[in-house]
Amino acid sequence: MAKFDNISTIKTVTKTIDPLIGAIIGDVCGSGYEWHNAKTKQEIKLSFDSPSRFTDDTVLSCAIAEWLVDGKNGTTEDQEQILKDRLDKYGKAHPNAGYGHIFREWLAMKNKEPMNSFGNGAAMRCSACACVAESYDELMELAKQSAAVTHNHPEGIKGAQALCYAIWSTLCGYPDKEYLKQDIERNFGYDLSKTVDEIHGSHKFDATCQVTVPEAIIAFLEGDSFDDVFKKAIWIGGDSDTIADMACALAAAYYGIPDGYREKVQSLLTEDLNTTISKFENYISNGEK
């Protein structure tokens, strides 16, 4: 993959866990729409009330966050084993989070090997990588590693890298949305020309990276606020919580988290997930575990 034209302009990466929190908000507030896709735009609301709940998107995003804290400075082999351990640990601690069948098979393996998957599980869990990467090369490597232990198909890896790049470039303070659109199309080969309304009109349930990652990016590109990005992601239909997870991770990097949203969503999480978020935030802020 060619290096992007504007990589040399990066000076400072904003240190924040907003993309991780945004992904969790998208997952939780989108969960009620996954099997009950919205029939009208008016019925879509970003709500933390029942039936909103966290799903596998949140659980595995936290697993990646803990891996980044515990394994970032180890060897490649160490990092891979720590990542497997964290995904296994969190997956088994939350057995009813709604995992896809391929990940459930992976969890059941004694000797865990990648499943050649291109499902969007690779991209839904990667937002924390964009929070810690300090260079383009590090970003691409972390995104690849975060996906490849389960989703080693090229499309699975590309999905994680594309979403991480979109989040990270926003945290770096550039580019504007139109430039980002062109950058992603040129360097990842995604078609971002459709509108959310066009996708809604033709959409069928699909949980692959090659379909849902571009859809999430389009929702972000069209949205004009955090809430609007969420609503556009839900209007797409299909795998709503995961599309909203990815779109809202981007929206959080661009717009920040609206007041009160973080407290509301964390009140719906379990103690272990909130502990991981705090641990990750301390690491981002102070370099502390």
pLDDT tens-digit map of 198-241: 999 876 789 999 999 999 999 999 999 999 999 999 999 999 99
Rounded distance, CA 131 to CA 134, Å?
9
Q: Would you state the pLDDT for residue 2? A: 41
User: Rounded to an integer, what distance in angstroms lies between the CA atom of residue 112 and that of residue 171?
Assistant: 34
Residue 59 included in any domain: yes
Tell me if 117 is assigned to some domain: yes
pLDDT band, very low/low/confident/very high, at 35 (cuts 50, 70, 90): confident
- Is 46 within the bounds of a domain? yes
What confidence score (pLDDT) does residue 1 get?
A: 40
Query: Does the pLDDT of residue 275 top 50, yes or no?
Result: yes
Domain count, the chain: 1
Helices 240-255 + 226-236 axis angle, to 10? 160
Q: What is the mean pLDDT of the segment spanning 32-55?
A: 95
Answer whether residue 4 is part of any domain: no
pLDDT of amino acid 287: 65
Please check whether residue 213 is in contact with residue 249, taking contact to mean a CB–CB distance below 8 angstroms. no
Say which range, 25-29, 91-95, 138-142, 202-206, has the weakest mean pLDDT.
Answer: 202-206
pLDDT tops 80 at residue 244: yes
Question: Which residue range(s) make up the domain with 21?
Answer: 14-286
Q: What mean pLDDT is reported for the chain?
A: 92
More confident residue, 5 or 135: 135
Number of alpha carbons in the 13 Å side-chain half-sphere of residue 200? 16
In this prediction, residue 76 has a pLDDT band, given cuts at 50, 70 and 90, of low
Give φ, ψ of 119 to 5 degrees.
-70, 160
- 114-137 pLDDT, tens per residue? 999 999 999 999 999 999 998 999
CA distance 94 to 270: 10
Q: Is the pLDDT of residue 45 over 90?
A: yes
Whole-number pLDDT of residue 113: 96
Q: Flag whether 119 is in a domain.
A: yes
Range of weakest confidence among 170-174, 189-193, 270-274? 170-174
Inside any domain, residue 9: no
Domain CATH for 190: 1.10.4080.10
Asked whether the predicted pLDDT for residue 78 surpasses 90, the reply is no
Mean pLDDT of 100-121: 96
Asked if residue 2 is part of any domain, the answer here is no
Give the pLDDT confidence score for residue 148 in this predicted structure. Answer: 97
